[in-house]
Structure 1
Amino acid sequence: MRDQAEALRLKVLKAQGSLARSIAIVSGKGGVGKSNFTTNFAHSLRLKGKKVIVIDMDIGMGNIHILLGVAPRYSMKDYLMGQQPLESVINKEDEGLTFIAGGSGLDTVLDWSEAMFERLITAFEQLQTEYDFILFDMGAGATQRSIELIIAVDEVIVISTTEPTSITDAYSMMKFIYLKDPDKKFHLVSNRVFRSDDGSDAVNRLQFAMRKFLDKETNVLGFLPEDDAVHQAVLSQKPFLLQYPNAPISKKMVVIADKFVQSDPNGVDDRPIGFLSKLKSIFSKGRG
């Protein structure tokens, strides 16, 4: 009965255009600037008048709060364990971006109690109706838990650099996800680019490989240049988009955010009601 009632409610919300787009931001390896991309991309969307929440899923090594210069008192773990209400683990930094910090222990999903599982679903039910975008900043590489969440979300943004190893790892990550969910929508971004030609070449190579070997189309969002503004902003614990709005990388980020928003021209009507349903199915396996 609960599933039927939820499905009906989500259909109504979908018809009203009220469901968030859920996006996992991933990379094949660490050190590509994924979390920095996430925080600045989120601000780009926010400055367009969108309601955005970032959920740090880089368990044990999460750094979203550091990049934003915020020391949160509670994490998602505190909510799942019933120690804090959802409102207490949702943080807002000075500029207005909303986020939930990561917390140790979230990778032991199979050990979650029924109450913790219900709280997870309840949280995402609420967030999906309160925000326009839910961004999951995933840890580098692929783990069983991270792949399960990635499979559940609507879309995936893949971050790579121009280095051959980074491109290869990014392709391997996309191939792995594709084999689990052939319908997944992929967006590509090349980061830390020294020359424009290199940036275009990197994302084009990824797009070509997906098309040739997997017959899968992907959406190229663009590339971000290597820029000292990033280093300075990290030291200041402020997003470079806000600290240095006229820097080349900030201007490119705005273009990428524009292209991403436009990639969903039909709004929720072009997307299945799948996020919560997939999440329930995935996390329910093996629970009896």
Structure 2
Amino acid sequence: MRDQAESLRLKMLESVGELARSIAVVSGKGGVGKSNFSTNFAHALLAQGKKVIIVDMDIGMGNIHILLGKSPKHSLMDYLVGSEGIDLIINETEEGLDFIAGGSGLETIMEWSDDTFERLTNAFEYLQRTYDFVIFDMGAGATKRAIELLIAIDEIIVISTNEPTSITDAYSMMKFIFMKDPDKSFYLVGNRVSKANGGNDAVLRLQFAMKKFLQKETTILGFLPEDTVVQKSVIAQKPYFLTNPNAPISKRLVTMTEVFTNFDHKQDDKKKLGFIGTLKNIFARGRD
């Protein structure tokens, strides 16, 4: 009966066309500009005519709404405890970017009771049917449930600076995910690259390490230079992609976004149910 139900579910989802590409933006450590990348990357996708939503999964320290200059009334936490519906936790910016704030106390709810998990997957299933891209801005830590979500998500964008600890921690994060899912797609972004450095040192080292020690190919999206417009945009609570579209960092982001969207992403049999199907399987195994 379960196989028949799953087959019927697959046909139903196929009838609505391709599901959203699910993307997790991660870093091995905090303070490398991960959330700043997420907000600007989302706007670059929006500029391509894509329908995009960011889900703030940074446990206890979510700041997506701050970077967007918004004060949402409701959050993912409100939805998971059952006090609000999915429609009330989705916020929209003037430019048309949707986002869901994390909310305080998310670290406790992320342990996922059966009821919480059902609400979570119902929400994510709605998102994968409604949007072209669902971006999960993950926290720097790696709880059990956060790792399960990362394993389920289609693609991982890894942000690293040239600091040795950033590179080492980013590699450890990728290795851990790779050991759980060797087929995971990784994209590398070097952030805050100085003019003196002038290149992709961090991402080249990460790519080399993944290939040498794990025989895993990764894709370098590029690097974003150190730029004063970033700090100014954070203070203004407005993404630099909007406030300074002609800045070198904005132009480079456009190129990186084009590389990402043009990269071959076929929804094979494994992905036909989207990341929700994978997440449910992982959760079910954990309950056995």
TM-score range, shorter chain: over 0.9
Match of 1:118 in 2: 118
Q: Which moved more, 1:198-207 or 1:67-76?
A: 198-207
CA distance in 1, matches of 2:144, 2:92: 30
Which SS does the other structure have where 1:283 is aligned?
Answer: helix
Amino acid in the other structure paired with 2:248:
P
Q: Residue 271 of structure 2 aligns with which residue?
A: 272
Deviations 1:123-178 (A, max 9, x none): 11111110011100000132222211101100100000011221111111111111
Matched, 1:50 2:50: yes
For this pair of structures, how many residues does the alignment match? Answer: 287
Query: Structure 2: how far apart are the matches of 1:134 and 1:197?
Result: 33
SS in 2 for 1:62: coil
Query: Paired residue for 1:139?
Result: 139
- Report the counterpart of residue 258 of structure 2 in structure 1: 258
Counterpart AA for 1:145: R
In structure 2, what is the equivalent of residue 228 of structure 1?
A: 228
Taking structure 2 as the reference length, the TM-score comes to 0.92
Tell me the CA shift for residue 94 of structure 1.
Answer: 1.8
Task: Calculate the aligned-residue CA RMSD, in Å.
Answer: 2.1
- Hey, what's the Cα distance between the residues in 2 that align with 1:186 and 1:111? 26
1-side partners of 2:287 and 2:175: how far apart?
28
Structure 2 unmatched runs, 5+ = none
Q: 1:11 Cα shift?
A: 4.6
Report what 1:176 is aligned to.
176
The one-letter code matched in structure 2 to 1:31 is G
Aligned identity (percent) is 64
Alpha-carbon distance change, 47 to 96 in structure 1, aligned in 2, over 3 angstroms: same
1:247 aligns with: 247
Matched, 1:106 2:87: no
Correspondences of 1:1-288 after superposition (within 5 Å)? 4-5=4-5, 7-11=7-11, 13-14=13-14, 17-109=17-109, 112-195=112-195, 198-263=198-263, 265-269=264-268, 272-273=271-272, 274-285=274-285, 287=287
- Aligned partners of 2:110 and 2:228: how far apart in 1? 43
- Which has the larger displacement, 62-71 or 103-112? 103-112
After alignment, is 273-282 or 228-237 more displaced? 273-282
CA contact (8 A) 1:141 1:173 kept: no
How far apart are the structure 2 equivalents of 1:110 and 1:67? Answer: 23
More deviation, 149-158/116-125:
116-125
Structure 1: state its 5+ residue gaps: none
Q: TM-score, normalised by structure 1?
A: 0.92
Q: Secondary structure at the match of 1:195?
A: coil
Q: Which amino acid aligns with 1:172?
A: S
In the TM superposition, residue 54 of structure 1 has moved relative to its aligned partner by: 0.3
**Post-superposition shift, 1:203?**
1.0
Q: 1:174 to 1:71 in 2, by over 3 A?
A: same
Question: C-alpha displacement at 1:275, in angstroms?
Answer: 1.1
Structure 1 residue 93: deviation in Å?
Answer: 1.4
Quickly say closer, same or farther: Cα 1:48–1:110, change in 2 above 3 A: closer
> Residue 17 of structure 1 contacts residue 268 of structure 1 at CA under 8 Å; is this kept in 2?
no
Q: Is the 8 A contact 1:28 1:140 kept in 2?
A: yes
SS at match of 2:56: strand
User: Aligned letter for 2:278?
Assistant: K
Distance 1:261 1:120 in 2: 27
1 CA distance for matches of 2:270 and 2:118?
24
